[in-house]
Chain A
Amino acid sequence: MERRTLFQGWKLPVALVLPQLLLTFVFFLWPAGQAVWYSMTQQDPFGLGSVFVGLSNFRELFADPLYVHTILRTLVFCFAVSALAMTVALALALVANRELRGRAIYRTLLIWPYAVAPAMAAILWLFMLDPEIGLLGHPLVKAGLPWDYHVSGLDAQFLVVLASSWKQISYNFIFFLAGLQSIPQSVIEAARMDGARGWRRLRTIILPLLSPTMFFLLVVNLVYAAFDTFGTIWALTEGGPGKATETLVIKVYRDGMINQDIGGSSAQSVVLMLGVIAITAVQFRFMGRRTKT
């Protein structure tokens, strides 16, 4: 349905849109523009002046094998987080969609983690999995399990994937549950009478009907894992040990804020920005096509 409101003149519409435009400008366009500008400059070592260097920051960036490594590491991290968060959320939603006793409590509890601040969540995971003081980690180490994310890169990666996924499960759960509830009951019953059960019904009826939800969530989860996990990772490992858990945003922060390489860090930001624009464009195309048919 299309709704159109016709305004007389242009002053009122402009006045109504202005606050939004100002916010977008101050918090997005202005810093983004600055980042683009800085990405083409080189700061002198004392931060007193800068010179225009064109695309040389970008050239340096992609010539650096460490950066390419970070990109790959980030991709793996993003897909791992998305896969884990979506699989667990879907399983939970399938259970919550059944006729269950205490269903309302179960659903409410599952939504809570979403409200926990990233750093808080990270601390909670530390209390659980720290090899020295963790409620779970310490007994495991005592039982002989070689577990120390301060030392082992693999352990640290496992930890950040776990903590980051946990945050996103609630969000996915809500969407999956809504998606499941929008599947007509009679379609499921028709499938029952056709003899489809369990895994087969899930694969041939439920998942295909959930695919718009899944695609949407995949994009949201990838973007989340790429950007919103900064707080969680920084609080857990600060990107370490070594660079084992250093994703692109961590690297941007480290290079820009700690190593004071404003030009190089800005170039990285611009690359990230292009990435988001690409993902969003793909999503809009798909979503647009879906709603039109």
Chain B
Amino acid sequence: MATLELQGLAKSFDKTAVLHRIDVSLQDGEMLAIVGASGCGKSTLLRLVAGLEQPSAGRILLAGRDIIRLDPAARDIAMVFQNYALYPHMSVFDNMAYGLRIRGLSKAEIGRRVQVAADMLGLDALLARKPRQLSGGQRQRVAMGRAIVREPQLFLFDEPLSNLDAKLRVQMRAEIRRIQRNLGVTSLYVTHDQTEAMTLGDKLLVLNEGRPAQFAAPMEVFARPADTYVAAFIGAPAMNFLPATMGEGGVVATLADGARLVLTDGARPGLAGRKATIGIRPEHLVLAGKGGGDAGGFATTLDLAVELIEPLGSETLVHGMLMLDGTSLTLVARLPGGPPSLTDGRLRLGVPAAELHVFDGETGKRVEVG
């Protein structure tokens, strides 16, 4: 049973701290998606687990065994590199067989494993080719095959799909998930694509400048983002944020223009009298009746000066400006169906009370009821 546990893992290069106290624990066969902006330390985290770098602090337990002191080869971990890192002078077969030969497997066993992987990945006809004679997608498959034949306890993927075109990416995404499920190998998957992260991971780790911003199941991260960074990172288009002041025992948020949002799910007494950030996802904004004034059923309505309408077919993105007491905010709404009809270039949007996210205005941390 290959469970993986990272305990207080940290890494500094010289004096610069790149990763701060990462704690993660994965069950056998689970896939962890690691997301974050460029340079936040995703690759570094993988390289620590792979043994290509030494951590400054912390422990890595694979199947309950601390592997920090082990050489990369002794860790029983296989990695798929972003640029594939195939051996240019070896055939596809030899690329996959290389690690097995070093481990001293019999010729028959090597042949069997390579054949199984080649069948799984549709590489059968390409086994004799050199990497330079392959397309990007085929190289990617070979890199996957090289990891699969090792039958390791842990897979590491470092943005394996980022060099492929959009269509192939979607296809390979599903394939990676299928293969990983079938083999039941615990995996870490680094990506900066939040769709990939949401669809691939059993768990999601969001990194923010080397700090773990949130570690939870993808839907949990989506439904209850731990802070404004996560909220903005997960979900497309990104969540809208409205600055507000909390009053009246933490039940009512007042926007700068005086509009009052009543938090129907409960009070946030901790925030009473302080600044807050109210979040609402674009898809949760709804068209309000043309009547105006009345906020019937909504926490409030917002009067949007529309700047851009993007019809996507089944839905429409509306970008606009919101004037709140002299300061302007950009806002995005994602409405079902075709483009809405505007009045004087304006649109009234309702904010359903049940869909609000409340964050501390200073720290950006999520504030729960109670």
Main secondary structure of the interface of B (DSSP, over half): loop
Whether A189 touches B98, Cβ cut-off 8 Å, given contacts A195-B73, A205-B87, A209-B88, is no
* Residues of A in contact, count (CB < 8 Å): 19
The answer on a CB contact under 8 Å between A192 and B72 is yes
Interface residues of A in 182-202 (CB under 8 A from B): 184, 186-187, 189-197, 200
Pairwise interchain contact A196-B77, C-beta atoms closer than 8 A: no
| Assembly CA distance A200 to B99 (angstroms) | 12
Residues of A162-216 contacting chain B, CB below 8 A: 184, 186-187, 189-197, 200, 204-205, 208-209, 211
Collect the chain A residues with CB atoms within 8 Å of residue B78's CB. Answer: 193
Q: In this complex, what residue of A is CB-closest to B133? A: A293
Asked if B87 and A193 make an inter-chain contact with CB atoms under 8 angstroms apart, the answer reads: no
Interchain CB contact under 8 A, A193 and B77: yes
Encoded as 1 (CB less than 8 Å from any A CB) or 0, chain B from 82 to 112 comes to: 1101111100000000110011000000000
Chain B residues lying within 8 Å of A196, measured Cβ to Cβ, are: 73, 98, 102
Q: A208 contacts which chain B residues (CB < 8 A)?
A: 89
Q: Which residues of A contact B72 (CB under 8 A)?
A: 189, 192-193
Q: A175 to chain B: closest CB distance in Å?
A: 19
Interface assignment of B274: CB less than 8 Å from any CB of chain A: no
Question: With A and B bound together, what is the CA distance between A189 and B77 in angstroms?
Answer: 13
Name which residue of chain B comes closest to A200, CB basis: B102
Q: Are B87 and A184 in contact (CB under 8 A)?
A: no
B79 / chain A contacts, CB cutoff of 8 Å: 189-190, 193
A192 interface neighbour in B73, B89, B146, Cβ under 8 Å: B73
Task: For B51, list chain A residues within 8 Å (CB).
Answer: 193
CA distance A211 to B87 in the complex (A): 14
Question: Would A189 and B81 be within 8 Å (CB), given that A194-B99, A208-B89 are in contact?
Answer: yes
Q: Please state if B87 and A190 are interface contacts (CB–CB under 8 Å).
A: yes
Does B52 sit within 8 A of A, measured CB to CB? yes
Question: Which residues on A sit within 8 Å (CB–CB) of B73?
Answer: 192-197
Q: Give B143's nearest chain A residue, CB to CB.
A: A190
CB neighbours (8 Å) of A194 from chain B are: 73, 98-99, 102, 146, 150
Smallest CB gap from B97: residue in A: A194
CB-CB nearest in chain B for A209: B89
Q: Is B50 an interface residue (CB 8 A)?
A: yes
* In the complex, residue of chain B having the shortest beta-carbon distance to the beta carbon of A189: B52
B177 within 8 Å of A (CB atoms): no
Nearest CB to that of A201 among chain B residues? B102
Residue B290 at the chain A interface, CB threshold 8 Å: no
Say yes or no for B132: interface residue by CB 8 A criterion. yes
List chain B residues, Cβ under 8 A from A204. 98
Bound together, the chains give a CA A170 to CA B273 distance in angstroms of: 74
Q: How far is the CB of A199 from chain B (nearest CB, A)?
A: 12
**Count of chain B residues with a beta carbon within 8 Å of a chain A beta carbon:** 24
In the complex with contacts A187-B88, A200-B102, A209-B89, A192-B52 CB distance below 8 A? yes
Whole-angstrom CA separation of A200 from B85 in the bound complex: 18
Contact with A along B47-60 (1 / 0, CB 8 A): 00011100000000
Enumerate B25-47 residues with CB–CB distance to A below 8 Å.
Answer: none
Of B52, B71, B83, B85, most A-chain CB atoms within 10 Å: B85
- Bound: A293/B52 CA distance, A: 33
B85 near A293 with CB under 8 A, answer no
Q: In the complex the two chains form, what is the Cα distance from A192 to B86 in whole Å?
A: 13
Q: Return the chain A residue nearest B47 by Cβ.
A: A189
Query: When the two chains form the complex, which single residue of B81, B88, B102, B132 contacts A195, counting CB atoms closer than 8 Å?
Result: B102
Contact B132 A293 (CB under 8 A): yes
How far, in angstroms, from A190 to B73 measured CA to CA in the complex? 10
Partner of A184, one of B77, B85, B103, B146: B85
**Judging by beta carbons under 8 Å apart, are B103 and A195 in contact?**
yes
| B99 proximity list for chain A (CB < 8 A) | 193-195
State the CA gap A184–B89 with chains docked (Å). Answer: 13
Bound-complex Cα distance A204 to B102 (A): 11
Q: Which residue of A lies closest to B98 (CB)?
A: A194
Question: In the complex, A195→B73 CA distance in Å?
Answer: 4
Check B87–A186 contact: CB distance below 8 A: no
Question: How near does chain A come to B102, taking the closest CB pair, in angstroms?
Answer: 4
Residues of chain B within 8 A (CB-CB) of A197 are 71, 73
- Complex Cα distance, B88 from A209, in Å, reads 8
Q: Mark B130-169, 1 if CB is under 8 A from A, else 0.
A: 0010000000000000100010000000000000000000
A205 contact set on B, CB distance < 8 A: 87
Q: In the docked arrangement, what's the CA distance between A211 and B78, Å? A: 28
A200-234 near B? 1/0 per residue, CB < 8 Å: 10001100110100000000000000000000000
The answer to whether A187 and B103 touch (CB under 8 A), given A192-B73, A196-B98, is no
B87 and A191 within 8 A (CB): yes
Specify the chain B residue showing the minimal Cβ separation from A185.
B85
17 pairs, A vs B, C-beta closer than 8 Å: A186-B81, A187-B85, A187-B86, A187-B88, A189-B52, A190-B79, A190-B81, A190-B86, A191-B98, A192-B52, A192-B72, A193-B73, A196-B98, A197-B71, A205-B87, A209-B89, A211-B89
Question: Interface residues, chain B, CB within 8 Å of chain A?
Answer: 50-52, 71-73, 77-79, 81-83, 85-89, 98-99, 102-103, 132, 146, 150
Task: Given contacts A190-B86, A192-B72, list 16 more A-B pairs with CB under 8 A.
Answer: A184-B85, A186-B85, A189-B81, A190-B79, A190-B87, A191-B98, A193-B50, A193-B52, A193-B77, A193-B79, A194-B98, A197-B71, A200-B102, A209-B88, A209-B89, A211-B89
The residues of A with any CB-CB pair to B shorter than 8 Å are 184, 186-187, 189-197, 200, 204-205, 208-209, 211, 293
